[in-house]
Amino acid sequence: MAENNSSFIVFSGTCTQYLTEKICQHLNMPMGNMQVTRFSDGEFEICFEESIRGKDVYLVQSTFPNADNLMELLLMVDAAKRASARTVNAVIPYFGWARQDRKSKPRVSIAAKLVADLLSVAGVTSVLTMDLHADQEQGFFNVPVNHLYASSIFIPYIQSLNLKNLCIASPDVGGSKRASTYAKFFNCPLVMCNKSRVKANEVATMQVIGDVKGYDVIIIDDMVDTAGSITKAAQLLKDQGANSVRAIASHCVMSGPACERISASPLEEMVFTDSIPFKGNCPKVKQLTIAGLFAETIRRILSNESISTQYLM
């Protein structure tokens, strides 16, 4: 069994190894050795292959579908707690189930609160995540939550585009606060798309509030799932005279017909972070890594430094 002499150690869940490896490179340390044993009925077992007694353990795992990713994280947390880790810190670049953050109609669950409770019961000491669907979800946890924003990655990228007539757009009213923050930072106009849905993942109607004629528009969102809203917004903005339309979103869910919709849309590009791996085939999709952001935040937490300077706005 290998011996890690560091006071902290970083392990990765199965689905997030691509990101954990880059985080560990920034931290100049090897990734912790963990084994996942899968049984024929689909059940699996987590085993840390090195001692973590008395150490600060960081468990990196995004909880995008399927549900095995969440279950694997819960088992990692439980195993670390039972192996006498000093602290057990869940690093969740993409916090799944977050769209279910309230009772939007009678007799439905609040999945985001349930997942927060599951992590607390499993034994997490703290949570490090990025761009929750709603900021108030931090209050669902009974442990400290360090909530990062992808704006520290996206702002330098937007600046590198050197767009002379920049305009920020929100694809819906719910995202207006997020888009407004970008518009204030860049001191540029803000427009909103007002949409109505007939059911989940299906937009019925959409209208643009504001003037986009002659502007280079960037749509800001927290995630793209089937890409229905964002491509409909892009087409509408282009029809109303936008010079160019790009989209930026933190989390690359990209399910169902998303790739086909983005490829056929007037979007110049669709930019994500790598909180979720993109396995589709779409030349318009670009991913920017958050490994440096998470590595630096972990370093500051370990040395009891403030992380507020990680926020550009």
Residue from 81, 184, 195, 284 carrying the catalytic annotation: 195
Strands (E), the chain: 8-12, 34-38, 44-48, 56-60, 87-92, 126-130, 145-148, 166-170, 190-199, 202-209, 216-224, 244-252, 270-273, 285-288
d(CA 22, CA 213): 41
Within 10 angstroms of residue 3's Cβ, the number of other Cβ atoms is 6
Give the containing element (helix H, strand E) for 151: helix 151-161
| Local structure of residue 166 (DSSP, 8 states) | E
Is 81 an active-site residue?
A: no
Cβ partners under 8 Å of residue 194, min gap 6: 172, 173, 206, 207, 208, 209
d(CA 137, CA 143): 12
d(CA 218, CA 160): 13
H-state helical runs in 163-290? 176-186, 228-239, 258-264
Instruction: Pick the closest to residue 60 from 27, 106, 105 (CA basis).
Output: 27
- Identity (one letter) of the amino acid at 9? I
d(CA 262, CA 248): 12
CA angle at 293 for the pair 5 and 91, rounded to the nearest 5°: 60
Within 10 angstroms of residue 67's Cβ, the number of other Cβ atoms is 11
d(CA 232, CA 238): 10
Question: Which residues form the catalytic set?
Answer: 195
